[in-house]
Amino acid sequence: MTHIDGARRPVATLDDSVRLVSDERSGAHAVLILDRRVFPEHVEWVRAETPLEVAEAIRAMVTQSSGPLYAAYAGLELAALQARGLTVDAARASMAAAGHALATARPTNGHPREAVDLVLHAIEAATSTDELVERAIDTVREGLDEYHARSRRLARHAVELLPDGATILTHCWMDSYLIELVGAATDAGKHYDWVATETRPYLQGARLTAHTLRELGHNVTLITDGMGAAALAPGSSLGPIDALVTAADRVSLDGSIANKVGTLGLAIAANAFEIPFYALVQTPDATLASGADIVIEDRDPAEVLSTLGTRTASGLVTDAWYPAFDVTPPRFVTRIVTDRGDFAPDNIADYFAGDRP
């Protein structure tokens, strides 16, 4: 992977934060990924020339939230383009290898796996390499379009639960969900004030969430991760918070949600102070019977000893712990908002019942 500097652009309009590019002279393809580890102070792009390098960028936190989905789709398209010239069986095997690397780069985030499953299923029946490549690329485009459409539907359902003028506490970086929620609120004539946690150690809340909300014209107050319970407590000098709203990386069929570590503590505090907690996810994961089945990504503990590449712990400290996600039991979740509407946690399996829009 290589880094490329770029012109400053607002994150709120970065639908192309992951780009597939080609060299006009050589015809070689590569994926450019906005490095969200340093945005907005620096606008840099990581160049990945193979699907394995795309997977490594996902693992290294170059992109987060919806970003791994976009990167996985781009990596799959890159794999298809690089499979030209192979026999159809070899091309299919190459796509499968790329898919495995992309799907497992961050085990708790289910979006890359969903993209891989969709594309690999689409190429199963291909009888020639040209057909395989065409099917893969078409499915990538269709998958991205569907993801954006479902995010918009999810956002409209979330706005129905949130009154005009609400103050919302959010944790980490909801990416497309956040941008679509703000857009849906605007369409409904609603406006919100926000409180955002900083989200250590990569500070996605401080650098991405708060930045985006200000770009979109919403008021946002930044707090440290340790201030969440105090902010939710009655009598806080911030004023009353009306709802806790976060994304969910995975939702099991018993209504447990996995999200950025720290969500559990906020959910418990919100429950104690009778503040609703709405978790946003396009669809629950039908492969997960309960929260116990969710694999939690344990990242390198050394990441906790530093913040954005600068050592913040004493040099005498050598031990740390960094589960990137935690699991909130359903009893602390008020409603799970999906692209098919909102559900009580213990009824989330009804998402798959019938033809509910």
pLDDT digits (tens, 9 = 90+) for 36-65: 999 998 889 999 999 999 999 999 999 999
Confidence of residue 3 (pLDDT cuts 50, 70, 90): low
User: Confidence band (pLDDT; 50, 70, 90) for 148?
Assistant: very high
Q: What is the pLDDT of residue 51?
A: 98
Q: Delineate the domains of the chain, giving CATH numbers in brackets.
A: 2-149 (1.20.120.420), 162-352 (3.40.50.10470)
Residue 23's pLDDT is: 84
**Confidence check: pLDDT of 326 > 60:** yes
The 10s digit of each residue's pLDDT in 230-239 is 999 999 999 9
* Res. 66: pLDDT tops 70: yes
The pLDDT, as a whole number, for residue 308 is 85
pLDDT category at 5 given cuts 50, 70, 90 is low
Instruction: Using pLDDT thresholds of 50, 70 and 90, give the confidence band for residue 12.
Output: very low
pLDDT at 11 over 80: no
Q: In this model, does residue 356 exceed pLDDT 60?
A: no
Q: What is the pLDDT of residue 24?
A: 76
- Asked if pLDDT for residue 131 goes beyond 90, the answer is yes
pLDDT of residue 61: 94
The pLDDT of 182-198, averaged and rounded, is 97
pTM of this prediction? Answer: 0.92
As a whole number, mean pLDDT of residues 260-278 equals 98
> Do 94 and 132 meet the contact criterion of CB atoms below 8 Å apart?
no
CA distance 168 to 246: 10
Q: Is-contact 105 112, C-beta < 8 A?
A: yes
Q: Which whole number is the average pLDDT over 143-154?
A: 96
Q: Are 279 and 247 in contact (CB under 8 A)?
A: yes
Q: Which helix or strand (DSSP H or E) is residue 147 part of? A: helix 129-161
Which positions are catalytic? Answer: 249
**Omega cis (within 30) before 201:** yes
Q: What is the pLDDT of residue 291?
A: 97
Distance (Å, whole) CA 53 – CA 30: 10
Q: What is the DSSP pairing of strand 167-170 with strand 193-197?
A: parallel
Residue 84: pLDDT over 50: yes
Considering only CA atoms, which of 56, 64, 150 is closest in space to residue 101?
56
